[in-house]
Amino acid sequence: MTLDSLSEVLSSDLADLSAGERISHLYERLGDRIMATTSFGIQAAVTLHLIHEHAPKIPVVFIDTGYLFPETYHYMEELMSLFDLDLRIYQPTHSAARMQAIWGDLWDQGKEGAERYAMLTKIEPMNRALRESGADVWLSGLRRSQSKTRQNRAFVERQKNTIKAYPILDWADAQVELYFQKHELPRHPLAAKGYVTMGDWHSTRPADGDDAEATRFNGQKYECGLHLDSKTSDFQI
């Protein structure tokens, strides 16, 4: 079965299932082919708890860009003390200090600089994680309500050489909030300070009445690069 055909079949399978059932179904059908990612961001506890409850053997990859808020690292430690998960941490081949010395603030150098930054800190490490794990199916906590670029996504879709699955794609903000309350999940420390989405410290700010898309990259974009096809031919994502 081709990746496109498998994506269509899986997307149809998941449509009428609950989020937990979607994760169980994906793991039962795909086994070692699947891995998940987390940013330890504002809603990360929801997807991690679902994996913990329904398929804890799925490897969970965390891309540590080196530019995350200190609170994110503390949140990671808190959640990993609660959940039984196979966490695998990937980092850029260049340290933050080395990148700064060579290129300066890439994120503040227009489109070309931002694209190089995304490639170095997120896309290359994620591609490496997929390659080393042997996975070609990537489970992510994307939701349609988060941004305009996500509104028309299917539950499962192909992105280059990878299949991506979104078990909480159809959840509204209210469902996320209800899940937090029902399972008494801890919140990201910066949620109380007005942050509605989470990324690197230099490109994320509190909402201050704006929608989530306006809080990332000065409102110029929402996606960091991981959830859009990279332009590098030898990359899986």
Active-site residue 224, yes or no?
A: yes
Q: pLDDT at residue 226 above 70?
A: no
pLDDT at 3 over 80: yes
Confidence of residue 228 (pLDDT cuts 50, 70, 90): low
Half-sphere exposure of 218 (CA within 13 A, CB side): 6
Tens of pLDDT, residue by residue over 80-132, are: 999 999 999 999 999 999 999 999 999 999 989 989 999 999 999 999 999 99
Question: What pLDDT does 190 receive?
Answer: 95
pLDDT of residue 151: 73
pLDDT for residue 74: 97
**Which carries the bigger pLDDT value, residue 147 or residue 30?**
30
- 196 versus 28: which is more confidently predicted? 28
Checking DSSP bridges between strand 137-139 and strand 86-90, what pairing results, if any?
A: unpaired
pLDDT at residue 159, rounded to an integer? 86
Which burial class, exposed, middle or buried, applies to 80 when counting CB atoms under 10 A from its CB (0-12, 13-18, 19+)? middle
Confidence bin at 219 (pLDDT 50/70/90): very low
Question: Is 68 within 8 Å of 216 (Cβ atoms)?
Answer: no
182 burial (CB, 10 Å; 0-12 / 13-18 / 19+) is exposed
Task: Report the percent of the chain where pLDDT is more than 70.
Answer: 85
Task: Tell which CATH classification among 3.90.1530.30, 3.40.50.620, 1.10.357.10, 3.40.1350.10 matches the domain 3-94+120-219.
Answer: 3.40.50.620
Task: Provide the pLDDT for residue 233.
Answer: 58
Mean pLDDT over 165-170 rounds to: 95
Q: Quote the mean pLDDT of the chain.
A: 88
**Rounded Cα distance, 144 and 168, in Å:** 9
Q: How many CA atoms lie within 13 A of 184 on its CB side?
A: 1
Taking 70 as the threshold, does the pLDDT of residue 229 lie above it? no
pLDDT at 18 > cutoff 60: yes
**pLDDT tens across 172-183, in order?**
999 999 999 999
Active-site hit among 51, 224, 226, 237: 224
- Tell me the pLDDT tens digit for each residue of 31-68: 999 999 999 999 999 999 999 999 999 999 999 999 99
